[in-house]
Structure 1
Amino acid sequence: GGGPTVDLTPVVEGFGGGSLVDVIIHYNAYIGDDPDPGNALVTADAFLESGPEGETLLQVHKEGLFLLEYRIREGQSGGGSPLAFEAVTVRSAFPSIKSSVVGERILPTDMNLLDNGCMPFVKRGLAGTGNTFVFQQTTEGPTKWQIFPLRPSANPSDIEVYWPQVGKGLQGTQDLPEVCWYCELDRYSAVWPSDPQLNVRGEDAPPVNLTSHTRAQIQYQNPPGHANINARQFTTLAPGMATIQYTDEDPIEGGETVSFQVVDTDDHADHLVFMNWTIGARIVDSVHDSSCNDGYLFNADAANYDPQGQVYDPDTMSGRVFPINEGIVEMWWYEQGTTRQGDPANVCWPVRPVLYNCIWPTTPDRCIIIANQTGSGAFSATTHNNLSIYEQGDPALPGYNPNEEHAIWNTNP
């Protein structure tokens, strides 16, 4: 009781060029006819009804075995003759309890029920059936009919799916169009993945760019309102978990493909790595994906780096960062994660905030003895061009270093 109806329209309407047919239910001692046709509250154990778009639907309310006859409709060649028969066994629905992971495709027990051209029927969990726990793609594309959990649930009754298989039928004079029969019922709990995509955040940090995808939307987030997507830019106001759905046009098979990424946003301070760094040396990181950017200089307005050399642009996160005095510089390094489907997400996420303690080198590149007045010695014009002495004397601005050593350039006599 309460299971999905079976759509017989492909056979009735002769999809694929077949004959139009009528469906006859052959009742028996197990599956009986309507005992009181005049009473609207009493129906047959199995009966046909019309769907909202004129479909021919089979509804069954009792366990048993019965026979369907597909008879060629009058007015056609062979009208009134049987086209085919199909024996139907009806069993009570006893659900299996299964687990699932948010963002990953829900699977049946019998893997032969996947991708067979039939639509799994989501009894509970879809939008419009109560609280939304799953998404099912209904548009054309490689992921059509696939089902994905959107949020955690410890209660398997929140997600209920009937899985269909293609009927075989007792073939008559020609092959039958496919009819999908529901043969497995499963209920699912759902948990967050153990390896969500990390996203570190901080005040005034840049958004995460999602424009590599045609559409991106947050399907679920906890706490509510901590994350937002606007113009395919992902921003956060606080730590939290979010399920992001990507929708893209498929260049090979056509239609649309959906994929998911579960994002765990944490405060950058909870993931800091501490490291000493030499003043004057470009800050780099071996884990960083350089195809994303050149790293994000956090709190650049107060950072202890060279802002005058125009070698790093905080807005585009492009260029090189050089510490110029003792103090702290914080850099965020990025990675391109994968979707829950195992494909490259093509989205760059900040995952590794490093706090660099900038110190003078123990062995300087050159040594100047003030008393001998010879200076540093000559610099090669082929390897050193446009030389300048760094000086920024305003402590309220980034890169404060007032050249307290009073260094100057001189030309050798």
Structure 2
Amino acid sequence: MPNKKGEIAVKLTLLLMLAIELTACSAKNGEPIPVASGASAGQTDDASAAQGAGGGKRKLTVVKETDAPKRSDVAIERIHRFEGAAIDAWLSDDALRITTTKLEKPGTDTEEPKFSYAAETVDLTSDARKPAKPAETEGDTAALVKETLSPDGKFAFVQRWKDKYTARNFIKNVATGGMTEIKGTNYLESGGWIDEGTYLLAAGSMEGRGDVLSVKTDGTVSKMTLDDPQVELFTKFTASHGRVYYTDQAQNLKTLAYGTATKPTVLATGVSGFEVAPDGARIAVSTVVGQDGTAARLLLYGADGRQQGSAIGTGDLIPYMSWSADAVKLAFAVYAEDRSGMNGVYVFDAASGTVVPVVPNAFPQYPLSWNPSGTRLGVTAAGKGDLPVTEIIDFKNQQTP
């Protein structure tokens, strides 16, 4: 007679091994990575430790059922791939304008390679492509146009860059298409809508930091007073929901209330970059690598300047981050020399508190780009022959239980 207890023990062992295999496969295939926050998080301050991909000590945090994070709303439905293409602008949720680069003649020891460029529009419902309208020109020089919509979508701040140093600025009435030119010289493209009727522009200067201009939708312009001797040049400047945010030369992130203060307060130190969520409730902040070798981290701060939870990303470099329009999802790119760490493009889902890898091992060449509703994300990285390749990621329409 076979030993029943022995058979049961063997079966239980096999089931346990299968469960471990399935868990490992899920981590490798883009399943959500829970991000600990608050007191229940223990000492897991490193999101790569939570990911547990290869090498190093792994930490196991036992979480109470009531504290367990919800399942993420981030799930990929489809990926569109466009070789040799980079995103110019989203035209709608389902359409965008791209620039396609084609190698016409390879380089030699004595000559640079020659490329040709073509503007196209793409309909993502069918992936159909067609030539785009020629870029607006002034004389023989094409102008690079950047538009930033006001919070209510009624106006846009428009910059037409004749070259990399000089831009002409306009306020555009979206409904009529009418343009009001803003007089004055502009050397920087940094700025943001402080409210629905005012755009703040850090104009820059060839001599010092230049003025911060307050531009109304009727075209009137005034100067904003900013008392901060530590700023010689704005490396990052924006405005949102009544507050101004910028970094100074000492890598401090500073803020002040527009119209009621002239001296800023420090929100965070050792900052390499930041992005304010569209609703103004959160600020994503990337830190520099510490002198002691501490990794760069991606942190979240509230509008009150308090850090929220632990790091949601760590690595040697966090070059890009971008909020979806509804402020629910934050896309970010991470690079780490240690290939077992975080590498590629990830999405943080604020509703569930999870981080999901969406383009593993990609190192974007351009900023990450959401469509207007936040259902698609554009990622442009290096492709074959150093030509760009763009992937548009469609996310499934899910509801968090």
TM over 0.5: no
- Identify the structure with the greater strand proportion: 2
* Larger RCO (CA under 8 A, 6+ residues apart): 2
TM-score w.r.t. the length of structure 1 is 0.18
- Identify the structure with the greater helix proportion: 2
